[in-house]
A = this chain, B = another copy of it.
Amino acid sequence: MTVVLDAAGIMIDREVDLTMAGGCVSAESCRSVCATCRVRLFAVCAAMSEHDIAELERLSHHVEVAPRTPLFLAGDPAQSVYTVTSGALRLQRDLADGRRQVIGFAMPGDFIGLSPDTTYNFSADALIQTTLCRFERSRFMTLSRARQGLLERLHVHATHELSIAQEHMVVLGRRRAEERVAAFLLSWRKRLARVNGASATVPLPMGRQDIADHLGLTIETVSRILARWMRERIILDVPGGVRVLDQERLADIVAD
């Protein structure tokens, strides 16, 4: 990672990314290798015995998704579930007239694809080059039935996701534009910390429009708020993301 100085003379990380590639980089049907998996410790497959991991590995398939490419679409038969091993995805629901709601972003360690239905109820698109561990849904559920720990971990995961969703409802329903953007920046940064370690530099692989669609705002509003924060030296523009200069101010804006 190259380090350079910006116009203001502040040291910044020139390149920020979410890449944590590992395992084979070949085509679809290749097995994933759990032993070298860098997200294993916090993915749903964590805390499984060596024997169980081996069984899980036998069900796994390595998947690569190019930037701006869908992994699956809302309405598709929900045949697979995935663990993200590197990259980032945008999860969204669409209205008939084109309005979009980005319900979340997935990053390494996240588990996606579960649906109460036989079809996915949201779409998933890769924001950058992304690798995943794919499991056939029915087989995965069968295994989770046999391996107590897995189902339990799955349930803990779902409960956690639900809590995040509820927190986001508060943001969407009761927060002003500036609070929404601040809440997003801080929570995204916090989630990244688990994967990349804590850093003031926050990669934003999603576009402004994606952030706007996540926060129930327009791209103009998001742009204006970020521009103001840059003028006020609360954040710094970094290619591919921002650098948080004044975490305190952001925390004050959210103030919950």
Residues of A whose CB lies within 8 Å of any CB of B are 93, 95-97, 99-101, 103, 114-117, 121-122, 145, 148, 151-152, 154-156, 158-163, 165-170, 172-175, 213-216, 255-256
Bound CA span A176–B66, Å: 35
Pairwise interchain contact B173-A114, C-beta atoms closer than 8 A: no
Task: Give the contacting residue for A162; candidates B99, B165, B173; CB below 8 A.
Answer: B165
Pairwise interchain contact B170-A115, C-beta atoms closer than 8 A: no
Copies in the complex: 2
Knowing that A165-B165, A168-B169 are A-B contacts, what are 12 other residue pairs whose CB atoms are under 8 Å apart, sorted by A's residue number? A99-B174, A99-B175, A100-B174, A101-B169, A116-B162, A116-B163, A145-B148, A155-B155, A172-B173, A173-B213, A173-B214, A173-B215
- Which chain B residues border A93 with CB–CB below 8 Å? 166-167, 169-170
- Which chain B residues border A158 with CB–CB below 8 Å? 155, 158-159, 162
- Which chain B residues border A95 with CB–CB below 8 Å? 170, 174-175, 256
- Which chain B residues border A172 with CB–CB below 8 Å? 169, 172-173, 216
8 contacts between A and B (CB under 8 A): A93-B169, A93-B170, A116-B156, A116-B160, A116-B163, A122-B166, A169-B172, A173-B213
